[in-house]
Amino acid sequence: PSGGAVHRLTPEDAGWTWISLDVRRLAAGDRIDRPGDGSEVLVLVLEGTCRVRAGSTVFDTVGSRASVFDEPPAGVVLVAPGEDVEVEARTSALVAIASAPGGDVRRTAHVAPGDVLVEARGSGPARRVIKNLLPPSAEAGRLIAVEAYTPGGNWSSYPPHKHDTDDPPNESQLEEVYFYRFARPTGFAIQRVYTPDRSLDEVMVARDLDLVVVPRGYHVVGAAAGYDCWYLNVMAGPDRVWRFTVDPDHRWLMDWDPARPSAVAAGDDGGGPRDR
């Protein structure tokens, strides 16, 4: 895409119902204008600093890092359906704007960096660090968003799991998108997406700035050795609940409890090399 656009994903593009995602690179002074509609919107300042206006509310400084591998979490502004959005870059910036049809909760708010829970998941070669930008516990209508840091050689979204079936209280139906960055631009990860009956079974190479959609099926990510990996996850579905089913073949590898997040120690929150 041109005009600073890195990705523009619509439900029609993805063949699904809920998630739209617009990722753009901005120079200082560049602006994004998005008219209000029936969608809940999430502005994510992934790199750089921006001024964000949501309706009549102005958040003067959103974002506080030069790289997704720096310590602070992404800048986050949740925008209620119907409110116009204006994003103006104060520095060069990488911005993602996610949206989904509005839900029952309609709220506009800036998520302060100190309010973002940073947790460790897994152990050994499956250890990764998650920053819960807009977790299921947050007050929001439809969208869920996290960013994950996976050291090179480690596995993430692990063990393989799925959330494509409305089966409470066991599983919820959520579409999901992955947006990738690597500490070195030549880095890559392997992502597999597959259904229990293998009618969908795809293995793909995810490179820097790539986007992967997961409409259904189990999914898992392996970062190539030597290439620290970061990705943004956005999820949405008919209900704002994150319940998943682990692939029975790999359930024995489940070594973390989603109901009891494990906060990471200071200085161990997912920051990594900035050699890009």
Tell me if 123 sits within 8 A of 110, measured CB to CB: no
Q: How far apart are CA 207 and CA 229, in angstroms?
A: 10
Q: pLDDT averaged over consecutive 10-residue blocks of the chain (276 residues)?
A: 80 96 96 96 98 97 96 97 97 98 96 94 96 96 98 98 96 98 97 97 98 98 98 97 97 90 63 53
Tokens of 254: 């489940």
Q: Is the dihedral of CA 56, 36, 181, 219 positive or negative?
A: positive
pLDDT of residue 3: 55
Backbone Cα Rg of the chain? 18
Q: Render 21-56 in DSSP notation, one character per residue.
A: EEEEEE-TT-EEEE---SEEEEEEEEEEEEEEEETT
Residue in this structure with the two tokens 């309010």, named with its chain if needed:
115
Instruction: Name the 3-class secondary structure at 13.
Output: helix
Task: Tell me which amino acid residue 94 is.
Answer: L
Beta bridge partners of 62: 50
Residue whose C-alpha is closest to residue 41's, from 104, 108, 87, 90? 108
Instruction: Name the 3-class secondary structure at 228.
Output: coil
Q: How far apart are CA 90 and CA 135, in angstroms?
A: 27
Instruction: Name the 3-class secondary structure at 252.
Output: helix
How many C-beta neighbours within 10 Å does residue 35 have?
8
Q: How far apart are CA 128 and CA 123, in angstroms?
A: 8
Residue in this structure with the two tokens 């995602």, named with its chain if needed:
21
pLDDT of residue 269: 57
